[in-house]
Amino acid sequence: MTSIKPVAMQPSPRSVRPLAGISKAAGCVRYAGRVVAFATVFATVFATGFATAGSALGAETYCSQEPLAVPDGLDSALRSVVVPPTAPDATIASVRVSVELTHPWIGDLRVVLRHPSGTEVLLVDRPGFTGAAGGLGFPGPWGCGGNGFDVTFGDSAIIAAEEACETVGVAMVGEKRPTVALATLVGLPPSGSWDLVIEDQVAGDAGTLMGFCLEITTATLVTCPEDLDRDGSVAGSDLAILLGLWGRPCVGCGADLTGDGQVDAADLALLLGGWGVCPNNG
């Protein structure tokens, strides 16, 4: 594994719009902004299912733009971004990851985001690859034969990253849904060294990571975790969030009220048991 010494990235005080890819004119930016519109807060909460945060959300983005070679075949590249210490009670409410890289055959690549605790989220695993016994990918069963990423991984994206393969221009572009939900990281502390690990699993092509950004929304701990959307009551909107993550591996995420790594009937029972007004979350 090729390692690069972690670099602490401090957020800029200026506010910008959410990431939608990190190349072109916008580049890979750092910002600190407050999420103040209720509609924005609710959309973030609904998409991630966070339960261990308070009513005030803060979004910050941390980036690394130093190019890093992605070696060819059965090797990996690792780039780290250090999130500085936050308030002791701050936890992750949502995460999005933007990646820009060049590689002539992205179907060779497996990309993982690693939290400072060691918890890993698989963002994409050889997009377009169908396996030896599968159907045809593009241009065959060896994964997407397109060139490069300019993508933001987010749980609310409509198109799965595994299914993305543009035949003209950049092969994976825009908003894409990761293979494993980034909601897995909800409820964990944001501070520490985060790693992006890119593995080239087939010989024949190499590439370059041009940069990546973490967009992390944090919030403060509360005493009423069943109130998933932080509106002061446990109600139908909280039930919808929990059911949206039903049956998924969900280590450390807010909807896993029992902390057993799964969203299931036990979590539903806790949520229903807390039904009604939850003033401590106001």
Listed by start position, the domains of the chain span: 7-220, 233-281
Question: Which tokens in the block code for residue 160?
Answer: 């799965």
Q: What is the pLDDT of residue 265?
A: 92
Top-tier CATH class for 233-281: mainly alpha
Distant-in-sequence contacts of 6-9, Cβ < 8 A, 24+ apart: 6/80, 6/81, 6/82, 6/193, 7/64, 7/66, 7/80, 7/81, 7/82, 8/82, 8/84, 9/62, 9/63, 9/64, 9/81, 9/82, 9/83
User: Which tokens sit at 205?
Assistant: 């092509």
Q: What secondary structure letter does DSSP report for 270?
A: H
Please give the average pLDDT of every successive group of 10 residues along the chain, which has 282 residues: 40 35 32 28 35 54 90 80 83 93 86 94 84 50 79 92 83 92 91 93 83 89 75 86 85 81 91 82 48
Q: Is 44 helix (H, G, I), strand (E, B) or coil?
A: helix
Question: Can you give the pLDDT at residue 155?
Answer: 93
Residue 170 is predicted with a pLDDT of 87
The third-level CATH classification (topology) of the domain covering 7-220 is: Jelly Rolls (2.60.120)
Tokens (6 digits) for 264: 């299931």
Coil/strand/helix, residue 186: coil
Q: Scanning the structure block, which residue is given the tokens 């993305």?
A: 164
Q: Please report the pLDDT score of residue 13 as a whole number.
A: 35
Contact 219, 186 (CB under 8 A): no
